[in-house]
Chain A
């Protein structure tokens, strides 16, 4: 690269968002928030889902317009009306959902939206060469000529970071960048981020993971319900103090677990294979068992067959070979409804798609599988509305679900309350086996805590629980055994107490248990 080709944007020594207000219909998403970041620091933006972190940063990147307030760059008020404005100012953003075009190569994705050094002809070879230099400089290995769809998520993130560096971003916003990474990849990412701050970049690190914020940031700003709670130096902060700022009340970070009292095998998978949506091998000879009274955590980077596994157990995806038994009865080939009757409770990953009908009311969702069964129907035709109403009210009370009533449309409830309702529905049927996929994703800390306690209580009552989660902390907190999936296979199953997060991380990247030890 030569300087004339890619004019460096003005350095950002100091950026200040002042009194930012953003309203969406019916919601005050960001309420008079002040936020500042300096060159050479990592400023973490911490908060629960819906606290306003992403909205605030989308305003800074020009994807949303603030209703009030202003952005000052190096003391100068600056209008940012679109991403092209923010890019010109030297602001880059790594989005939670990567902003890459899968069918294009890495170099084409980088060249996208930039002036070509050859005018009206593309200069992908020039871009590739410059990318190779940058990837050496920052130790971010990536082949510029690979189509993006062939890359693993971790590699795609490297492309996003390289692209920001290529565009000379002086300030980089990272929106939950660790959500899709193994612990080892997180370490690599942190090394890159530290190098960037040494080079004078300003970084904003959005997260809800406390230990990561503590590990990487210089300062933390905590948001809650659209407001700024405080901005503090990271030094001196603890997990507990940050969590309490985030939630606004004392929280429990560790659970008391009763000793394991496992009974017989309730869920057994023998050599199960299935196709993915794309038609290739989604599951590749998976064998796994879960005993009554234990929680088996299924860890893995997103997209390694966890979803397929859950769907195969629930009867929503056909297994191409192998056997599945619930309570000793073969369920392969049976319909979801029959599998339900045999004692499977299922909390699906996409709760608004596979778990509930958002236009239906709370009580309609509560009897979604049981609308044609006793005790909710008379003579096989007439709904017993009074009985349904009472059962639903009981569940609302017992599970502390916040809803105006039983006839409220589900979509007006928060994610945490919807998840509690689904949990209540599944547990009210006294399942022998419970498959819980990402049960607390997008759920606030309070509801997560409640759901975790419920799952533990269910375990103590003898239910076999398969907990599928991409959140390793969740798995380490709840599971008795941990199974790790990689590319549609189980790489290993280990006792929770005999394994470290690092070992699981290595297995998530495909290493076998022996290699890890």
Chain B
């Protein structure tokens, strides 16, 4: 057993959670205001590619991150336009956005780079003092990560604070629960939704970059392999609460890391089962997590004024 539950497994679980946390938090804002963005994975792929390409060309990580966020912003605006202004059916249009991102990122990759290459990317920052703690491997598990990991975890309490303790968060929640009431109180429902959906896009772009220039440091076709969809599922699993999403992301990435470890040391379980395990666990937990009071009642419903 000690070979399986090593400190490095826990450390890699924390690293693997990063893209889920970014994308999941962004999607939480979007859904709390009543918009389901199912295109997260497509935006992540585009962010992953553009961020990677920017670093590949400029060798500047900051530019890479900014480019990925900008890509997310543009795609987020597009999703907002489709779902808020055009009032399109959100599930179907989200799948469209996903396929668009999947196809375009692959096309750009083929045209601009061609074969998988790697970049240097973010390196681990050892937190002075704390990273030396040997006890239970705490130093290795928590304090030897790249910058984006720390940022992702820091954004969890920030998001919770914004949603629960600020007038902005109150507006977002009201718009997702009862847009008619918010409208009657003089709140511009469309503007709030544009804001949250675009913010969700930026966070998805960042999630993609965290994968391509920090976690894996490569880009290839369909790099995310569905991580954006898992992130959407984690929002439900986490009950639309940032800390719930953190818990879900950790559970999922831990199972993921464990699976890598088990197949790595050659335990006699068919590899396919191990690969399936995280997804099966997600489905099972979702069944038990589907009904929550925080669920935005106006989720997926376009807003129309008047009865």
Task: List residues of chain A with CB under 8 Å of any chain B CB.
Answer: 58, 61, 63-64, 82-84, 87-88, 93, 95, 97-104, 108-109, 111-116, 120-122
Which residues of chain A have C-beta atoms less than 8 A from B188's C-beta?
82, 84
A445 to B306, CA, bound (A): 25
* 7 shortest interchain CB distances as A-B pairs: A84-B186, A113-B185, A99-B181, A99-B184, A101-B178, A83-B186, A101-B177
A114 to B184, CA, bound (A): 12
Q: How far is the CB of A280 from chain B (nearest CB, A)?
A: 15
Q: Are A64 and B306 in contact (CB under 8 A)?
A: yes
A291 to B178, CA, bound (A): 45
A102 to B173, CA, bound (A): 11
Q: Of A100, A111, A114, which is within 8 A of B178 by CB?
A: A100
Q: Are B184 and A104 in contact (CB under 8 A)?
A: no
Interface-lining segment among B53-61, B102-110, B163-171? B163-171
Q: How far is the CB of B230 from chain A (nearest CB, A)?
A: 27
Given contacts A83-B185, A97-B180, 7 further A-B contacts (CB under 8 A): A82-B188, A101-B177, A111-B170, A115-B167, A121-B165, A122-B165, A122-B169
Residues of B155-192 at the interface with A, using a CB-CB cut-off of 8 Å, are 165-171, 173-174, 177-178, 180-188
Q: Does B132 contact A (CB under 8 A)?
A: no
A122 to B168, CA, bound (A): 9
Which residues of chain A have C-beta atoms less than 8 A from B173's C-beta?
101, 103-104
- The DSSP consensus for interface residues of chain A is loop
- The DSSP consensus for interface residues of chain B is helix
Residue of A83, A88, A115 ringed by the most chain B CB atoms within 10 A: A83
Q: Does B305 contact A (CB under 8 A)?
A: yes
Q: Does B294 contact A (CB under 8 A)?
A: yes
Task: List residues of chain B with CB under 8 Å of any chain A CB.
Answer: 165-171, 173-174, 177-178, 180-188, 293-294, 305-307
Q: Please, could you name 29 A-B residue pairs with CB atoms under 8 Å apart, sorted by A? A: A58-B306, A61-B184, A64-B305, A83-B183, A83-B186, A84-B186, A93-B184, A97-B180, A98-B181, A99-B180, A100-B181, A101-B173, A101-B174, A102-B178, A103-B173, A103-B294, A112-B171, A112-B174, A112-B185, A113-B171, A113-B174, A113-B182, A113-B186, A114-B167, A115-B167, A121-B165, A122-B167, A122-B169, A122-B170
Task: Return the chain A residue nearest B169 by Cβ.
Answer: A122
A113 to B294, CA, bound (A): 20
A83 to B167, CA, bound (A): 18
A63 to B187, CA, bound (A): 12
Q: Are A112 and B170 in contact (CB under 8 A)?
A: yes
Task: Return the chain A residue nearest B180 by Cβ.
Answer: A99
Q: Are A101 and B167 in contact (CB under 8 A)?
A: no
Q: How far is the CB of A229 from chain B (nearest CB, A)?
A: 25
Q: Are A99 and B170 in contact (CB under 8 A)?
A: no
A83 to B173, CA, bound (A): 19
Task: Return the chain B residue nearest A115 by Cβ.
Answer: B167
Q: How far is the CB of B163 from chain A (nearest CB, A)?
A: 11
Q: How far is the CB of A489 from chain B (nearest CB, A)?
A: 27
Q: Of B177, B182, B306, which is within 8 A of A102 by CB?
A: B177
Which residues of chain A have C-beta atoms less than 8 A from B185's C-beta?
83, 87, 99, 112-113
Which residues of chain B have C-beta atoms less than 8 A from A113's C-beta?
171, 174, 182, 185-187
Q: A122-B166, A122-B167 are in contact. Are A63 and B305 (CB under 8 A)?
A: yes
Which residues of chain B have C-beta atoms less than 8 A from A64's C-beta?
305-306
Q: Of A97, A103, A112, which is within 8 A of B293 by CB?
A: A103
Which residues of chain B have C-beta atoms less than 8 A from A109's C-beta?
181
A459 to B306, CA, bound (A): 40
A112 to B180, CA, bound (A): 13
Q: Are A104 and B306 in contact (CB under 8 A)?
A: no
Q: How far is the CB of A147 from chain B (nearest CB, A)?
A: 9
A87 to B180, CA, bound (A): 15
Q: Are A87 and B181 in contact (CB under 8 A)?
A: no
A163 to B187, CA, bound (A): 15
Q: Of B166, B177, B178, B183, which is within 8 A of A121 by CB?
A: B166
A87 to B185, CA, bound (A): 8
Which residues of chain B have C-beta atoms less than 8 A from A95's C-beta?
184
A109 to B178, CA, bound (A): 11
Which residues of chain B have C-beta atoms less than 8 A from A83's C-beta?
183-186
Q: Are B294 and A116 in contact (CB under 8 A)?
A: no
Q: A84-B188, A121-B165 are in contact. Are A104 and B174 (CB under 8 A)?
A: yes
Which residues of chain B have C-beta atoms less than 8 A from A93's C-beta?
184
Which residues of chain A have C-beta atoms less than 8 A from B167's C-beta?
111, 114-116, 120, 122
A463 to B170, CA, bound (A): 54
Which residues of chain A have C-beta atoms less than 8 A from B169's C-beta?
122
Which residues of chain A have C-beta atoms less than 8 A from B177's C-beta?
101-104
A122 to B166, CA, bound (A): 5
Q: Are A112 and B182 in contact (CB under 8 A)?
A: yes
Q: A112-B170, A122-B165 are in contact. Are A63 and B186 (CB under 8 A)?
A: no
Task: Return the chain B residue nearest A82 by Cβ.
Answer: B186
Which residues of chain A have C-beta atoms less than 8 A from B178's C-beta?
99-102
Which residues of chain B have C-beta atoms less than 8 A from A101's C-beta?
173-174, 177-178, 181-182
A500 to B287, CA, bound (A): 53
A420 to B242, CA, bound (A): 53
Task: Return the chain A residue nearest B161 by Cβ.
Answer: A121
A111 to B185, CA, bound (A): 10
Q: How far is the CB of A341 from chain B (nearest CB, A)?
A: 37
Which residues of chain A have C-beta atoms less than 8 A from B183's C-beta?
63, 83
A61 to B186, CA, bound (A): 10
Q: Are A104 and B293 in contact (CB under 8 A)?
A: no
Q: How far is the CB of B173 from chain A (nearest CB, A)?
A: 7
Which residues of chain B have C-beta atoms less than 8 A from A116's C-beta?
166-167
A104 to B178, CA, bound (A): 10
Which residues of chain B have C-beta atoms less than 8 A from A58's C-beta?
306
Residue of B165, B177, B186 ringed by the most chain A CB atoms within 10 A: B186
Q: Are A87 and B186 in contact (CB under 8 A)?
A: yes
A111 to B186, CA, bound (A): 12
Q: Are B184 and A120 in contact (CB under 8 A)?
A: no
Which residues of chain B have C-beta atoms less than 8 A from A121's C-beta?
165-166
Q: Of A88, A97, A104, A120, which is within 8 A of B168 by CB?
A: A120
Task: Return the chain A residue nearest B184 by Cβ.
Answer: A99
A108 to B186, CA, bound (A): 15
Task: Return the chain A residue nearest B307 by Cβ.
Answer: A97
Which residues of chain B have C-beta atoms less than 8 A from A97's C-beta?
180, 307
Which residues of chain A have C-beta atoms less than 8 A from B180's C-beta?
97, 99
A325 to B188, CA, bound (A): 54
Residue of A82, A102, A103 ringed by the most chain B CB atoms within 10 A: A103
A61 to B174, CA, bound (A): 20
Task: Return the chain A residue nearest B164 by Cβ.
Answer: A122
Q: How far is the CB of A205 from chain B (nearest CB, A)?
A: 18
A473 to B280, CA, bound (A): 59
Task: Return the chain A residue nearest B167 by Cβ.
Answer: A116
Task: Return the chain B residue nearest A83 by Cβ.
Answer: B186
